Amino acid sequence: MMDEPAKTKREVTFSRLLGFRELGIIIFIVLISVLIGIRNPRFLTWSNFHDILIDTAALSVLSVGMMLVLVTGGIDLSMESVLALTGMVAGMMVKQNPQLSPLFMLILGLLLGGLLGSITGLIVAKGRVVPIIATLSMMYIYRGITFIISGGKWINAYEMPDSFKGIATERFLGLSKLIYIVLVVYVVFYYFVNYTHTGRKIYAVGSNVEAARVIGINTEFITWLVYAISGALSGLAGVMWVARYASAQNDTASGFVMTIVAACVLGGVSITGGVGTVSGVLLGSITVGIINNALPMIRVSPFWKMALQGLIILVAAIVNIAIARNMEKSQLKRRTI
Amino acid sequence: MKYRNSLSNRKLNIVFKWEWLLAILIIGISIVNGRLSPHFWSYTGIMDSLAVFLEKGFMVLSMTLVLIIGDIDISVASIVALSSVLMAMSYKLGLPMAVAILVALATGAGCGYLNGLLISLVPGLSAIIVTLAGSSIYRGIAYILLGDQAIGGFPSWYSYLAWGYVGKTNIPFVMVVFVGCAIIYGLLLHRTAWGRKVYAMGINPVAARFSGVPIAQMKQIIFTLNGLMAGIAAIFLTSKLGSSRPNIATGYELEVIAIAVLGGVSPSGGKGGIVGVCLALILMRLLRYGMGLVNVPGQVMMVIIGIVLVGVVMLPNIFSSRGGKRRTKEIQ
């Protein structure tokens, strides 16, 4: 009983600090939007904002998958290649069968990506290969398979039926359909992560694997599951990506994993595991989307993007660590002895 | 009990089994390659085919140290690109080539130093995230500096580094430099107290710290060395290619790590040696040579290298997992 008040107090500070963190990102978003808007007024128009949302759609779906993997303390570098491979398969399928419905293609993307992701998951969970080594290998393996099945050729816009491209171009209530896909993904995962047993187990595994195992959580299954989910979301994002850019290439999204990690770290996901929220990741993705959209608007050469993303990852990771340490300190201070 | 087991296992596996296995594989692949091409079994053929591959060897040597301490460095390929681009640009700006080469070395060591500084300075910041960000930053800077252009037209003596032979003999110059580096790394790792500390850090970092191993300083040195070797690799790679672009050496990190792991280095730290890694380097080259003979495209080679890397790490784990379960049951 003695623990009760201390515990609730700790939870209060915890949620307050998390809230503080998300508020911080929102202030940051508003600040850079205003600054860029001063340099180029076209930035602050509704159509540009809509463009940013469409451009960020695939990224925000991918970041949820990456977040789950990061929360368990792993990392999934293979996401960009799963995206490319699924996108290529989807592109080749609609090229040969233009009558396939877009909804079917999206579900197919989920399933195929899930299959590819669960192979990676098996290697990490059952084969006990360090995540970075396993996913780095799978990144090149899936990229190579994309090259093999396509024979080095592209699928171009004119080879795709309008219904497929409609996933990105058609609008419903003034918003692109891509945005609704993102909404569904976020609602589902918000519920999954916060209100289901399996979702909470992911955090348990990420916070302390040994403790999770001792209380009876099947840690191998959870580890496999997060890679399978990140694969499935990469597959979904692959179909969205190909529909959006109306082309499937061998080097689709090459190097995009940096953007995904940047969005996650910016959204407050800890690289060492155990910490990360769905809402934070959404804000992180939007921030990265805004920065990427704004660079050409303020006449910064696109060659800067790569270095800038690396810098964002580094700075955000250090900020996360500083925040976590401050939080620990304040918890220790408030502890009733 | 567990410790003694793992120690004796390690001695058995690494000293008596793994290197021999690699040697047998090398002989096997050589025979296959000899069947595929009549030109394979010639001194110059073997020497030259090894020599064009050695710039990766430089990176493998220092990557071995990084992996033994239980860390990883995925920024090496980007450090190669940045070193190469900066070297080419400083030559174009009018510096003599010899000074430009020093620029490449300094760039490599500088990037490695920066990695090491961040990893050892900020506790909780893992090598994975620092080098992941680094791989984006370093290649990104190369792109900012050079865009999508290429710089070539180096002095003619510069191509000697990758293509020349020592004196009147037919020993490639790179080979001599590499063997020198390999001997230095071998002695450093296996014959000095410093080398023992490297292993101690990988086997149990906490125990190592309490027995007085300066963890932060060691990490700093090892990551700087890794950057320096990437700088050396950049010099030889640029010499081989004859020009410099920001996108050179893409995918090298995978191959370098794969070679080290194939050589018996455990990615979770504490295991491996220079001899095994050098054998794995030869093996990987022969594998690539053979795949080249049967016209396997580069992308497919990456698939095979990836499968080899995952397989080499995974198979012993799968076989030992049963033993591990039995052991925990005994304890219970």
Tens of pLDDT, residue by residue over A11-62, are: 555 555 556 677 878 888 888 888 888 888 888 888 888 888 888 999 999 9
Q: Does B305 touch chain A (CB under 8 A)?
A: yes
Between chain A and chain B, the number of residue pairs with CB atoms below 8 A apart is 144
pLDDT digits (tens, 9 = 90+) for A167-183: 877 777 878 888 999 99
Q: What is the CATH number of the domain that holds A304?
A: 1.10.3470
- Residue A6 counted as domain residue: no
Give the residues across from B172 on adjacent strands: B165
Residue A180 lies in a domain: yes
For residue A11, tell me if it sits in a domain. Answer: no
Give the global pTM.
0.86
Q: Say if residue B207's pLDDT is above 80.
A: yes
Average pLDDT over residues A63-83: 92
Task: Assess B213–A contact: CB distance below 8 Å, yes or no.
Answer: no
In a domain, A32, yes or no: no
Measured CB to CB, residues of chain A less than 8 Å from chain B are 75, 123, 126-130, 132-134, 136-141, 143-145, 147-148, 250, 255, 258, 261, 265, 271-272, 301, 303-311, 313-314, 317-318, 321, 324-325
Q: Which of A136, A145, A272 comes nearest B124 by C-beta?
A: A272
pLDDT at B48 > cutoff 70: yes
Partnered with residue A172 across adjacent β-strands are A175
Look up the domain containing A188 and give its range: 40-334
Give pLDDT tens digits for B161-173: 888 888 778 888 8
What per-residue confidence (pLDDT) applies to A2? 42
Q: Which long-range contacts (CB under 8 A, 24 or more apart) does A311-316 make?
A: A311/B133, A311/B137, A312/A262, A312/A265, A312/A266, A312/A288, A313/A258, A313/A261, A313/A262, A313/A265, A313/B129, A313/B132, A313/B133, A313/B136, A314/B118, A314/B129, A314/B130, A314/B133, A314/B134, A314/B137, A316/A262, A316/A265, A316/A266
Distance CA A134, CA A223 (A): 13
Which ipTM value was assigned to this complex? Answer: 0.83
C-alpha dist (Å) from residue B76 to A291, B128, B130, B229, B305? 27, 12, 12, 9, 18
Q: Closest to B303 (Cβ–Cβ): which among A128, A140, A318?
A: A140
Q: Render pLDDT for B292-319 as a digit per residue (tens, 0 to 9).
A: 888 888 888 889 888 988 888 888 777 7
Residue with more model confidence, B234 or A328 = B234
Residues of A whose CB is below 8 A from B132: 75, 258, 261, 313
Q: CB–CB of A122/A224 below 8 Å?
A: yes
Work out the percent of chain A whose per-residue pLDDT is above 70: 94
Q: Are B72 and B267 in contact (CB under 8 A)?
A: yes
Using the CB atoms, write b or e for B33-63: b if 16+ within 10 Å.
beeeeeebeeeeebebbbbbbbbbbbbbbbb
pLDDT of residue A309: 85
- Check CB contact of B121 with chain A, cutoff 8 Å: no
Spatial CA neighbour of A275 closest among A200, A207, A175, A334 = A207
* In-domain check, residue A17: no
Cβ burial B207-223 (10 Å sphere, 16+ → b, else e): ebeeeebebeebbbbbb
What is the architecture of the domain spanning B2-298?
Orthogonal Bundle (1.10)
Alpha-carbon distance A310 to nearest alpha carbon in chain B (angstroms) = 4
Nearest to A80 by CA among A139, A19, A12, A145: A139
- Helices vs strands, H then E, count in chain A: 13, 2
**Partner-chain contact A127 B137, CB within 8 Å:** no
What is the pLDDT at residue B327?
46
Q: pLDDT averaged over chain B?
A: 86
DSSP-derived 3-state class of residue A242: helix
Cα–Cα distances in Å, from A197 out to A52, A204, A208, A286? 34, 10, 16, 29
Is A135 among the domain residues? yes
Phi, psi of B168 (to 5 degrees): -100, -5
Q: What are phi and psi of A248, to 5 degrees?
A: -115, 120
* B132 interfaces chain A, CB cutoff of 8 Å: yes
* Residue in A closest to B315 by C-alpha: A127
Joined tokens for residue B314: 């995974």
Q: How far is CA A113 from the centre of its chain?
A: 14
Confidence of residue A154 (pLDDT cuts 50, 70, 90): confident
Domain count, chain A: 1
> How many C-beta atoms lie closer than 10 Å to residue B99's C-beta?
12
Residue of B nearest to A265 (CA): B129
pLDDT, average across residues B127-131: 90
Residue A192 belongs to some domain of the structure: yes
The tokens 């502890």 sit on which residue? A335
Candidate ranges A162-166, A193-197, A270-274, B19-23; pick with highest mean pLDDT:
A193-197
Q: For residue A272, is it within any domain? A: yes
Chain centroid to CA B77: how far?
A: 10
Comparing CA positions, the residue from B314, B175, B202 lying closest to residue B258 is B314
| Per-domain residue ranges of chain B | 2-298
